[in-house]
Structure formats: structure tokens, C-alpha cells
């Protein structure tokens, strides 16, 4: 099934020039017949990416331009397909009617709405974790991992898995529920759909680099990342750092292995996987080939491996072994760890206001929430910077093409 990636000849296409740019942060307006100079406070494509901390107005402006152009392009493509418009409107009217009509189906509909929102939440977190436009948000560490830990600890505390994992009664033991052997397989069965949806989101988040590289190839534009890799390949390999050698290796294997290579690289935690999307888009690999391999690797294989690892690390046997090891070398440390685990399990059972942690525990919770907020803010800023840089590079390229055309005429 594997096949080598071969580049197809792409037709050249020159986009029309754009209007004047914002005269802020040193950005000077220009005409369509002259190239757009780089803003004084925002380096051009050859000087690096835009920085929100150095030129916030420029970043905000170009981010708005990026969102505007992509939104309008998406709307035009959607409205051009009348079958899509008709199906969407019909489905929206159908959903509105069944929600407005109260009857025996209302309880089932409410349940289905909750399920849809729950799993859509995990898909969106997966997208945020791997989207190629910014730095990415480590949502497995921040959200999915802690959720699996809570399910695991509560299962051992309750002695069964009949408790809810979402809603107001989440992680509260059901009185009178029959006790069953708590195994890793049973815990995995309870969290597997959240894990698969998160993995599917990570696969969806890998699509922007693929589509951007594909659009660049179809328009005849060169890809700077791949040009740099080709330069590295042609140079002396001894002078390359370990990271650069890894990039070249991934690039070569993707071209040789095709579907199998994409699947293998998606199945392991791989910070270089953006290169797979760029490579496949540049060489016009079919979308179904790239996405199928990415989906199977990230959603089915990688997310399952990560989920099983977390369940194993926080299973009762592993925790008991860790406590015994701590007791052997430091009995005082063992008591503190046991107390921390017990407090966490009590919290999962649903703490009352009098039981809520105070002092160091309260400050630790506040600090963790602050870390999450800072990471979310950094993620949003990195997305804005990357989108703004892309919009600026496109505008510069368009105006250079317009200038060259004017000179030729």
C-alpha cells in the first residue's frame, strides 16, 4: 500500500495585488505597482516572524486580514455548492423543529445533546493540541491526562465503574452499585471514546500545514521549509546538528514510504510531524491518503498508547509499589505521598465547602489554574503571530508579482 511520493507538475497562478496596508507600527501604505515594504517594527519574511510583543498593532491587523480572507474564501466555496447549502439549511431546520417540539423524545434528545457537546469538546482540545498555525497547546497533559487519572483513581476508590465521568455528579460513587474487579481494560473501556475523539482532533489539527503547502504547490510558489531541507541534504551531513539530521531523515522516509511512513510517524509522539503535512501537501499526495494515515496513527494508535500508559501509572498496583519504594528510602516522604493521594481521591468524591483544601493545597490549585491560563494565552498569541506572518508574506508575494508584471508590460 505504501508508495513513493512523486511531485506533480503544478500550474502557475499569480494572485492579484491587494489594497493599501495599515499605516501603523511603521507600516507605510503602497500602491499596487510597487512592492510592499516590510513594516519597520515587523521584520519581513527573510527576517523572521512577526512578534506580538514588538508590534501588537501590526499583528492584530494582519491577523484580522488572515481571518477575513480565509472566512470569505470558505464562504465562497461553500455557497458555490448549492447541494451543501441545501443540505445544511435542511438539517438546521430539522434540528430546530425537533428541539422546539416537546414530547417523549425530549429526554433522549437532551442526552444526545450532552454526548455531542462532550465529545466535541475533546475533538476541539485535540485540534488545539496539534494545530500547525501556532505553538500548540498540550491538552493531553492539561485536560485528557488528568481526566483519565480521575477516572482511574475513582474506579479504585469506588470498586466499580458505574459512576458518571461528566456532569454535576461526576466521579461520585453510586451507592449500592455491585463491586467488580477494576482492571486496566475496564478503565480503558470507560475513557476510550474521549481518547479517540481527542486523537481525531489532533489528526484534524495537522491539516492546515498540508493544505497550505498544497495551495503553494498548485500556485507554483516555493516552500521555504522544503527549500531549506533540500539545501541541508545537498550540504555536508557531518556539519548538521542532531535535530537537523532528524528533519532530513523524516523528509527522506516520508518520500520513500508514503502511506506507511505517514502512519508510523503519526503513531508516536513526534514534534516533527508538521513536516509530514508540509511534505505531503507540497508533493500533492491525495487528501484521503494523508488524512487516513494520520487519523489511524494519531487517533487509534498514539492516543490509545498514551491512555493505557496513564492508566498503568495511576493504577492501584503501581501506586502501592511506588509507595513501598518510597517507604524503603524515606518513610516521611511515603506518608506525605499517601496523604496527597488520599486527599486527591477525597476531592474526586466531591468535597463540601468545609472539606475544600486550604493553605498550601489551595495555593497549589490556584497556581495550577494560573499555569493553564498562561498557556492558553500563549497559545492564542502564537496563533495570532503565525496567522499574521502568513498574511504579511502573502501580501508581499502578491505585490512583488504585481510589480514584476507591471515592469514586463
> Tens digits of per-residue pLDDT, 182-212?
888 999 999 999 999 999 999 998 888 888 8
> Taking CA 62 as the corner, what is the angle to CA 58 and CA 68, rounded to the nearest 5 degrees?
150
Classify residue 151: in a domain, yes or no: no
Which pLDDT band, with edges at 50, 70 and 90, does 352 fall under? very low
Contact 103, 345 (CB under 8 A): no
Classify residue 342: in a domain, yes or no: yes
What DSSP letter does each residue of 99-112 carry, written as one string? HHS-STTHHHHHHH
pLDDT on residue 39: 41
What's the grid cell of residue 186? 475496564
Please compute the mean of the pLDDT values over residues 320-337 and round it to a whole number. 75
Classify residue 352: in a domain, yes or no: yes
Q: Helix crossing, 184-205 with 207-218: angle to 10°?
A: 30
Pinpoint the alpha helices (H) of 29-144. Answer: 56-79, 82-100, 106-130, 139
> Tens digits of per-residue pLDDT, 149-171?
889 988 888 888 888 888 888 88
Distance CA 196, CA 181 (A): 24
Domain that holds residue 326: 315-356
pLDDT on residue 328: 77
Contact 394, 73 (CB under 8 A): no
Contact 348, 150 (CB under 8 A): yes
390 or 135: which leads in pLDDT: 390
Distance CA 213, CA 229 (A): 14
Helix (H) or strand (E) holding 48: none
What's the grid cell of residue 370? 494560573
Centre a 10 Å sphere on the Cβ of residue 381 and count the other Cβ atoms it contains.
17
Q: Which of 146, 143, 138, 50 is nearest to 379 (CA)?
A: 138
pLDDT on residue 297: 92
Residue 225: pLDDT over 50:
yes
Classify residue 154: in a domain, yes or no: no
Work out how many domains the chain is built from and give that number.
Answer: 1
Contact 216, 269 (CB under 8 A): no
Percent of the chain's residues with pLDDT above 70: 75
Which pLDDT band, with edges at 50, 70 and 90, does 223 fall under? low
Percent of the chain's residues with pLDDT above 90: 14
Q: Cα Rg for the chain, rounded, in angstroms?
A: 26
What's the grid cell of residue 311? 492508566
> Tens digits of per-residue pLDDT, 123-140?
999 988 887 554 556 788
pLDDT on residue 11: 34
Classify residue 330: in a domain, yes or no: yes
Classify residue 392: in a domain, yes or no: no
Classify residue 361: in a domain, yes or no: no
Question: C-alpha dihedral over 13, 63, 200, 206, to 10 degrees?
Answer: 50
What's the grid cell of residue 106? 425530549
Please compute the mean of the pLDDT values over residues 378-406 and round it to a whole number. 82
- Exposed, middle or buried: residue 387 (CB in 10 Å: 0-12, 13-18, 19+)? buried
State CA 52 to chain mean position distance.
Answer: 21
Distance CA 238, CA 261 (A): 25
Classify residue 221: in a domain, yes or no: no
Amino acid at each position: 500500500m505504501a508508495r513513493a511520493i512523486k511531485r506533480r507538475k503544478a500550474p502557475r497562478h499569480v494572485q492579484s495585488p491587494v489594497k493599501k496596508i495599515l499605516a501603523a507600527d511603521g507600516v507605510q501604505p503602497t500602491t499596487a505597482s510597487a512592492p510592499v515594504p516590510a513594516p519597520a517594527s515587523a521584520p519581513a519574511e527573510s527576517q523572521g516572524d512577526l512578534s506580538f510583543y514588538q508590534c501588537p498593532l501590526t499583528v492584530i491587523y494582519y491577523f484580522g486580514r488572515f481571518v477575513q480572507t480565509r472566512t470569505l474564501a470558505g464562504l465562497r466555496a461553500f455557497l458555490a455548492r448549492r447541494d451543501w447549502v441545501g443540505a445544511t439549511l435542511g438539517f438546521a431546520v430539522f434540528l430546530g423543529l425537533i428541539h422546539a417540539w416537546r414530547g417523549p423524545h425530549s429526554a433522549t434528545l437532551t442526552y444526545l445533546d450532552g454526548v455531542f457537546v462532550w465529545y466535541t469538546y475533546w475533538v476541539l482540545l485535540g485540534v488545539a493540541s496539534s494545530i500547525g498555525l501556532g505553538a500548540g497547546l498540550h491538552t493531553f497533559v492539561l485536560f485528557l491526562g488528568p481526566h483519565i487519572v480521575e477516572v482511574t483513581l475513582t474506579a479504585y476508590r469506588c470498586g466499580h465503574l458505574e459512576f458518571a465521568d461528566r456532569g454535576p455528579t461526576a466521579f461520585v460513587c453510586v451507592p449500592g452499585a455491585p463491586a467488580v474487579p477494576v482492571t486496566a481494560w475496564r478503565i480503558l473501556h470507560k475513557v476510550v471514546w474521549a481518547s479517540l475523539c481527542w486523537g481525531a482532533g489532533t489528526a484534524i489539527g495537522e491539516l492546515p500545514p498540508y493544505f497550505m503547502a498544497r495551495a503553494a504547490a498548485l500556485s507554483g510558489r516555493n516552500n521555504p521549509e522544503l527549500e531549506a531541507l533540500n539545501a541541508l541534504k545537498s550540504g555536508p551531513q557531518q556539519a548538521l546538528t542532531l535535530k537537523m539530521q532528524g528533519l532530513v531523515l523524516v523528509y527522506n522516509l516520508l518520500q520513500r514510504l508514503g502511506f506507511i511512513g505517514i502512519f508510523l510517524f503519526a503513531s508516536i509522539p513526534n514534534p516533527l510531524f508538521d513536516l509530514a503535512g508540509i511534505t505531503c501537501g507540497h508533493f500533492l499526495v491525495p487528501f484521503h491518503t494523508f488524512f487516513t494515515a494520520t487519523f489511524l496513527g494519531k487517533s487509534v494508535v498514539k492516543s490509545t498508547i498514551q491512555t493505557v500508559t496513564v492508566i498503568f501509572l495511576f493504577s492501584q498496583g503501581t501506586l502501592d509499589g511506588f509507595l513501598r519504594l518510597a517507604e524503603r528510602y524515606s518513610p516521611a516522604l511515603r506518608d506525605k505521598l499517601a496523604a496527597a493521594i488520599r486527599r486527591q481521591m477525597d476531592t474526586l468524591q466531591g468535597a463540601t465547602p468545609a472539606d475544600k483544601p486550604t493553605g498550601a493545597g489551595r495555593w497549589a490549585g490556584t497556581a495550577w489554574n494560573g499555569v493553564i491560563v498562561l498557556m492558553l494565552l500563549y497559545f492564542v498569541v502564537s496563533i495570532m503571530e503565525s496567522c499574521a506572518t502568513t498574511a504579511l508574506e502573502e501580501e508581499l508575494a502578491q505585490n512583488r508579482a504585481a510589480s514584476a508584471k507591471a515592469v514586463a508590460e
